[in-house]
């Protein structure tokens, strides 16, 4: 479909934007999904400095690269989470502040609104990110939450995110929530519930990343066919199951790369995802947004992998039959 192939910049925040952009181009990418940390896309500067966005776009344009999606995964996590010590590392100081949970979430929400406005200024169409969730710790745990507790969690989600989505609506930006463990939506039916909690407002859809569905036993193509008009962004990331009787899918607290884990993320094409089925489902539902490589593989050289992944996606993304076929 000749979809635009992006590199998700969040894996490369140790590399300055001015250095990363040309490398991405050399590897074959047609654009970047810029993340809002490091110097890749600084929200406050974008809003306060007149030429910040123009300069970014200028550099990208000279490299023939686009930037249609902004990643706000880190700040967005704090909007709906019970904030704890882990969050300090993913938030700018001015959002973390003194770390008092309710205020942190409030400031995170404000930063998200700013992000949407900054994205508009850059000419992006989509802001992608997380939601955080007060319900996550109840998933699989004990005691099971009551219906009332679950309902309250979804109401919180709607209450916190509707104002941000209102800004999206005003700016002509769509928010793509990554369906991901730790978020309000982490599988097919929870995604359905999240959509219902927002009464299906069109500003809100999903970032589809099959790697998070695969290890849960969900067929990524079924997810796509279930939400044909709510796929607002796509991450290309692979995953592999390592089950040998001792490994478990919940991962035993082990870090990525430890062979005792039950699953691992992989450079695309090096894992277990049925990409042929994914691309055909994307074709069938008419998704024509970008394909963004979120490169993650604890066992491969990053630069080698980023280039390998771009080639992989180009081979994968074949032309579908014309609609009239």
CB nearer a copy of itself, residue 99 or residue 259: 259
Least Å from the CB of residue 288 to a copy of itself: 14
CB nearer a copy of itself, residue 4 or residue 247: 247
CB nearer a copy of itself, residue 50 or residue 246: 246
Least Å from the CB of residue 180 to a copy of itself: 7
CB nearer a copy of itself, residue 45 or residue 260: 260
Least Å from the CB of residue 170 to a copy of itself: 28
CB nearer a copy of itself, residue 61 or residue 298: 298
Six token digits for residue 209: 């990343």
Least Å from the CB of residue 131 to a copy of itself: 10
Least Å from the CB of residue 268 to a copy of itself: 13
């Amino acid at each position: 479909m000749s979809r635009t192939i992006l590199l998700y910049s969040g894996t490369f925040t140790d590399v300055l934007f001015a250095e990363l952009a040309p490398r991405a181009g050399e590897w074959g990418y047609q654009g970047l999904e810029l993340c809002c940390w490091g110097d890749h896309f600084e929200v406050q500067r974008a809003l306060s400095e007149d030429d910040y966005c123009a300069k970014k776009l200028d550099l990208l344009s000279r490299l023939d690269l686009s930037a249609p999606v902004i990643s706000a995964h880190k700040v967005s996590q704090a909007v709906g989470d019970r904030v704890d010590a882990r969050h300090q590392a993913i938030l700018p100081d001015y959002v973390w502040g003194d770390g008092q949970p309710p205020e942190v979430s409030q400031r995170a929400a404000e930063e998200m609104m700013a992000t949407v406005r900054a994205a508009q200024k850059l000419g992006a169409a989509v802001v992608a990110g997380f939601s955080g969730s007060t319900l996550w710790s109840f998933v699989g745990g004990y005691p099971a939450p009551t219906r009332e507790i679950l309902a309250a969690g979804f109401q919180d989600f709607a209450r916190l995110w509707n104002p941000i989505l209102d800004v999206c609506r005003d700016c002509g930006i769509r928010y793509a929530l990554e369906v991901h463990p730790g978020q309000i939506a982490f599988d097919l039916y929870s995604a359905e519930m999240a959509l219902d909690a927002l009464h299906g407002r069109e500003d809100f859809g999903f970032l589809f990343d099959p790697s998070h569905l695969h290890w849960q036993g969900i067929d990524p193509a079924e997810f796509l066919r279930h939400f044909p008009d709510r796929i607002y962004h796509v991450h290309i990331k692979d995953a592999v199951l390592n089950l040998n009787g001792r490994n478990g899918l919940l991962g035993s607290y082990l870090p990525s790369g430890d062979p005792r884990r039950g699953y691992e993320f992989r450079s695309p094409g090096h894992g277990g995802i049925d990409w042929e089925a994914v691309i055909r489902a994307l074709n069938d539902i008419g998704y024509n947004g970008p394909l963004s490589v979120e490169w993650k593989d604890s066992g491969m050289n990053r630069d080698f992998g980023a280039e390998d992944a771009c080639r992989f996606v180009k081979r994968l993304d074949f032309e579908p039959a014309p609609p009239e076929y």
